[in-house]
Structure formats: C-alpha cells, structure tokens
Amino acid sequence: MAYPSDEYSMLGIRFRIYEDHRRGPIPRGAAPPARRGRQGRGGGECGPPSRTPSPTAEKDVMNGTNTPNASASAHVLTPARILDENGMLVGEPPQIEPERQRAMLRLMMLGRRLDQKAISLQRRGKLGTYPPLSGQEAAAVGTAYAMDAEVDHFVPQYREQLTMLHWGLPLSTYLLQRMGHPAGSALPSHGRLWPQQVALGAHLPHAVGLAWGMRLQGKPGVVLTQFGDGASNEGDFHEACNIAGVKRAPLVMVCQNNGWAISIPWHEQSAAESVALRAAGYGFPGIAVDGNDVLAVYTAVADARTRAEAGDGPTLIEARCHRLGAHSTADDPKRYRPADFDERAAGVDPIHRFRAYLVGLGQWDDTADADTIAWCDDQIATAVAEFDATPPPDPGQMLHHLYAEPDMRLRRQQEELRSSIEENR
C-alpha cells in the first residue's frame, strides 16, 4: 500500500508531518510556545483547528473526506490506496485468486442494482425507509471478503446489506426486514450474523462484548463491526473503543466515512481530522484507507484480522468514501450538498475503478459485464418474488417474544388484541 514518504509511525499508525509544523527545540532562555486554548478565551492562533471548511473542502469530499484545511493540524492521516481512480496500480496488490476477485465485483454490482430495485419498492409502499449503499460498495465488499465468514462474527449497523448477504442472509429475508415483517428477523442458523442496529453506534459495545467473550472462552475467529462517521461521534463508539483497547478484544472496527453522516459535514461533526486518529487514544492502531479502492480496504482489513486473531487486539479502520445519492429514502441531499456532487463523485466510482483493474488483468470483459448484470437481476427478481409471496404478519405477533413466559398482564394484553382484531375484521 502506498504511503507518503514523509511520515512516522506510532502504534502502527502512519502520520504525515507537514513542513510548516516542524519545530526544533526551544532555544535556551526563549519563552515557551503559547499554550493551546479555546478560541474566545485567549486561544487565538494557538487554539484548536478552525471548524470552518477550507476552500478546498469540496475537493476533499471527492477523496472521501470534507475536513478543514490540512494545515490546521500537524498530523494528518493520509488514506492508503492501491488503485487510482482509473484502476491503475499505485501500490502492491493483495494476492487474491482471479475467481474471488470476480466474485467481489459481482457482489458490488449486485449492491448497485439492489439499490435501484429497493428504492422503487419503497416508492410503491412495499418497503419502509431504505438506506442505499451506492458509492460505498468497495468499503463493504473489501471488508467482507477480507474476513472469514466461516468462523468470524459480524455485528452490523443498518447500511451493511452486502456484508450481511456475504454472511449468508437470504436476499428475500433482507427485503422482509426492510418491510418490517417479523420473518425478516430470521438470521442464518450458524449464529455468526447478528441483528442489524438502526440506533447509531448502539451495536458497538455489543460487538466488543462478543469479542471479549470469545477471547475469554478461547473460541476461534474474530468479530467484525461496521458503522458510519455519524456513529463515530456517539458516546457508544468511545466507550466501545475504550473497553476494546483495555481488554485487547479480537475486534475489527470499520468506519465507512462518507463525510456527511446524514446531512452534517465532517468538519461540523468533529474537530478531529480523522476517525482513525482517535484509535491512538485508546491504545490500538487506526488505519485510514481510500474507501473507493476495494483492494486497499481488503488489505487493511485482512491485516487487522490477522492482528486480532494473533491476540494483538482491535484495529480501527476508516474507509473514506462517498455515497451517491441520498442517505436514505427519507433524505434529500440536494438540500445540503453541491448540485454537481454526484456528477463529480462518479469520477471516483468504486465499481468503475475495480472493473477497469480487472479488465486490465484480462479477468473481465463486456461479456462478463452483461452476464453479471443478468445474474444480478435474476437474483433480485427471485428475492422479490419470494418477498411478495410471504403472507402478511399476524398483528398479534407484535406481542410475541417479549418474555420467555408471558406474565398475567401480557396475557391480558394479548387477549384484548385478539378481541380487537376479531371485531375489526
């Protein structure tokens, strides 16, 4: 993976040092530098970095972040990459079998086609709110394929449909989940895929507890969890990082930082330049990668998994990416992003990048492209047919699975609900 030459390493974190922030030792008798304080309280130029975006902030968004000007901070974590925007190598690629690389591209393309169909179903009232993954496929698929779904556990947030499919969730079950049907809660029997979490960051302490428990019991495998930049600013994130570092939990934490959360740019979410830089404060490595580069993501996650499996503790990976379109079907990105954002972001599309790389290797061509599109559409059509054929849920199910044994009050409520349903048929 390519890193800038002007850097140093601490706890496995590569920092780039900007020239204008290098300072030599303080001469004897000279006054020490002004103490850093808060702006408005004597901080001035020695205060924290400005939260005002630089004129280059929009350009930074195309690279996966919209942080303030880099000169505002002495240490900036430069995302590692292996493929440039045109699919050309700029770093050492991981050793992945050709068929496995083709499978990675197929899953990325399935995600893009699924978004189109799911948004259509939502507009027709068949699904509830849907979170598209378009533009973030490399971060999802590179992560999924770097793990071992046969032994590893996955604790997802709500935009992890492709990783969940890789862990064995049927696509029709995922659609039922987005509909709110109880049948959508049925997870694979192997028990290594956990329920997705909608509340931001609330699943992170669960992932840490699971990983810690596996370590105490000597069980094989590690735990993967994914989340967004918005979740990284929740208290649960910091609590999870703290206990993960203290207990050296076998955990891989992947933050898909698209720079906007829902509608708030990164520089208004945090004064930190990077999510990954926070890891040092909890005693474990933080790595930033180009989240539009599936090979860079794969390499970082594979290394983190190896580290966790060896007993060396957690790793925080920040995949800086972009999302094409809305945060969800309840969102209108035109209200807070530049009008030409999607057009410019298409220039770093992760699918186009990886496809170009495989074409250059002779592993992909127009026939493979057409066959994959047909395969994606067939997978989606089959899942939608199963989804449509599923009977509607019994309203009484809303009072199921609340207690191992229903108490008197719950039995009374169940009886009242049954009576109400019968009266209104």
Q: Which of 14, 327, 337, 353 is catalytic?
A: 327
CB atoms within 10 A of CB 289: 30
Alpha carbon distance 99, 27 (integer Å): 61
**Catalytic residue at 28?**
no
**Catalytic residue at 190?**
no
Instruction: Output the six-digit token pair for 184.
Output: 């959508």
Contact 17, 78 (CB under 8 A): no
CA 200 to chain centroid, in Å, comes to 12
Q: Where does residue 320 fall: left (phi above 0), alpha (psi -120 to 50 degrees), or beta otherwise?
A: beta
Report the amino acid identity of residue 17.
I
Sheet bearing 7-10, strands edge to edge: 7-10, 13-17, 75-76
Sequence-ordered alpha helix ranges (H) in 130-284:
137-146, 161-166, 171-179, 204-217, 235-247, 266-269
Phi–psi pair at 365, nearest 5 degrees: -155, -175
Q: Which of 206, 336, 344, 352 is catalytic?
A: 336
Contact 200, 414 (CB under 8 A): no
Q: Which of 323, 337, 353, 355 is catalytic?
A: 323
The burial class, CB within 10 Å (0-12 / 13-18 / 19+), for 298 is buried
Q: Helix, strand, or coil here: 228?
A: strand
Q: Where does residue 35 fall: left (phi above 0), alpha (psi -120 to 50 degrees), or beta otherwise?
A: beta
CA neighbor of 246 nearest in space, from 287, 219, 215, 203: 215
CA 297 to chain centroid, in Å, comes to 11
**Catalytic residue at 336?**
yes
CB atoms within 10 A of CB 142: 29
Residues that are catalytic = 323, 327, 336
